[in-house]
Amino acid sequence: QTTLRDSADAIGKDIGVAVDVNKLQNDASYRNLVATEFNSLTAENAMKWNATEPSQGQFTFAGGDAIVDFAQQNDQSVHGHTLVWHSQTPSWVQNLSAAQMQSAMQNHITTVMDHYEGDVATWDVVNEVVSDSNGALRDSFWLQRLGEGYIAQAFQYARAADPNADLYINDYSIEAIGAKSDRIYTIAQGLANQDLVDGVGLQSHLILGQVPSTMEANLQRFVDLGLKVRITELDIRIPMPADGNELAQQKADFQRVTELCADLVDCSGVTVWGLRDVDSWVPDVFPGEGAPLLFDDNYNPKPAYDGVLAALGGT
Ligand code: G3I
């Protein structure tokens, strides 16, 4: 019986998991499974702005550092999440004037990326900059204060901070071809023309039975821009309680998404957004839905695990 990790290593892909620092430090079962089954880690919360710069100029890297240390002990890479977002960003940032906000953004990107240079090789530079309606830019405080140029500006600061890092634009509901992914495509194309972006992160918070039929073509069009793609936050939620048929459908869905990445040279990998179902953000935000991950609450692999394993070529 091979692991996800061994199978992914064999085909040169990342298989990642979003991790919680407290569980990593305090739960040996959690730690062992994360180390055994995955070759890449993303901080679920610990590298976000409210964690790394809660007060202006006061940087706190303890949580992110604990994840990096764990990853290094276990020969895992770390995907950085995230530098510029509208959520989990302290109010002190949101209340700045335009000039102050731009310089705070530069200082944040520079300081965080400098701190992790050599340890974190890929970054979600901007997260969720496109809205859910008509592909308009999200009407965030970033856009309101700085105008649409803030996106390219963030990538320029990131490129300058760590020229060796792969820089991603990351968003949800961009797995299918449609207004939102079209806008991401246009933004990515503009950034690619200036050599400011290296990849597109498709979060892939999916609904059972709804892997988009256009997902393969969508990934391909980003690759055709010369970019990498990455499935950055995969989970597939089920109306609760989940029955056997639903778990079988979930297996097929996980397998399909993972195969799309495995079959695409320029797809760097797949990260699942949490270890066990009980670790997931989904039930908090979508009451009545859940069971969206690869392991049950007792650390046992679900059918979805076998789907991912098969897609990675493991048995
Ligand atoms: O840290 C506090 C803790 O002190 C407090 O006791 C507790 C009470 O609710 O809250 C804790 O903070 C929570 C934090 O997760 C850490 O557990 C926040 O309330 C909660 O809102 C936060 O949720 C995170 C969410 O992002 C915030 O937007 C989820 O864990 C995290 O999975 C989720 O991840 C996002 C990605 O970053 C971007 N894409 C979507 C994805 C899912 O929403």
Q: Is 45 in the pocket of ligand 1 (CB under 6 A)?
A: yes
- Going from the Cα of 47 to the center of ligand 1, the distance in angstroms, rounded, reads 12
| Spacing, Cα 260 to ligand 1 middle (Å) | 29
Angle at 291 between CA 285 and CA 292, to 5 degrees: 75
* CA 18 to ligand 1: nearest atom: 32
Which amino acid does the sequence have at 215? M
What are the residue numbers of the active site? 233
Q: What is the dihedral of CA 266, 117, 84, 293, to 10 degrees?
A: 60
281 lines ligand 1 (CB under 6 A): yes
pLDDT in tens, 138-164: 999 999 999 999 999 999 999 999 999
Spatial distance between the Cα atoms of 297 and 295, rounded to a whole number of angstroms: 7
The domain 4-311: what is its CATH number?
A: 3.20.20.80
CA atoms within 13 A on the CB side of 175: 24
Residue 32 CB–ligand 1 contact under 6 Å: no
Bridge partners (DSSP) of residue 301 are 295
ipTM greater than cut 0.85: yes
Mutate to test the pocket of ligand 1, among 44, 174, 203, 279 (most ligand atoms within 8 A of CB): 44
Alpha-carbon gap, residue 163 to 169, rounded angstroms: 16
Which atom of ligand 1 is nearest to 81's Cα? 37
Q: Is 233 in the pocket of ligand 1 (CB under 6 A)?
A: yes
**3-state percent breakdown (helix, strand, coil) of the chain, nearest 5:** 45, 20, 35
Separation of 279 CA from ligand 1 center, angstroms?
A: 11
**CA-CA distance, 94 to 141, in Å (whole number)?**
6
Question: Taking 80 as the threshold, does the pLDDT of residue 1 lie above it?
Answer: no
Residue 184 clears pLDDT 80, i.e. is over it = yes
Decide whether any atom of ligand 1 lies within 6 Å of the 88 Cβ: yes
Residue 87 CA, closest ligand 1 atom number: 28
Chain-wide mean pLDDT for the chain? 98
Residue with tokens 């140029």: 149
Ligand 1 atom with least separation from CA of 127: 38
Query: What is the average per-residue pLDDT within 76-86?
Result: 98
- The per-residue pLDDT for range 186-227, each reduced to its tens digit, is 999 999 999 999 999 999 999 999 999 999 999 999 999 999
Give 44-62 pLDDT, tens digit per residue: 999 999 999 999 999 999 9
Tens-place pLDDT, residues 269-293: 999 999 999 999 999 999 999 999 9
> Ligand 1 mean position to 45 CA, how many Å?
7
Tokens of 208: 């059972």
In the three-class reduction of DSSP (H, G, I as helix; E, B as strand; rest coil), residue 18 is classed as: strand
Alpha helices in the chain (DSSP H): 4-10, 21-26, 28-37, 49-52, 62-73, 91-94, 98-116, 141-146, 150-161, 179-193, 215-223, 244-262, 282-285, 303-311
Write the Ramachandran bin of 297: left for phi over 0, alpha for psi from -120 to 50, otherwise beta: alpha
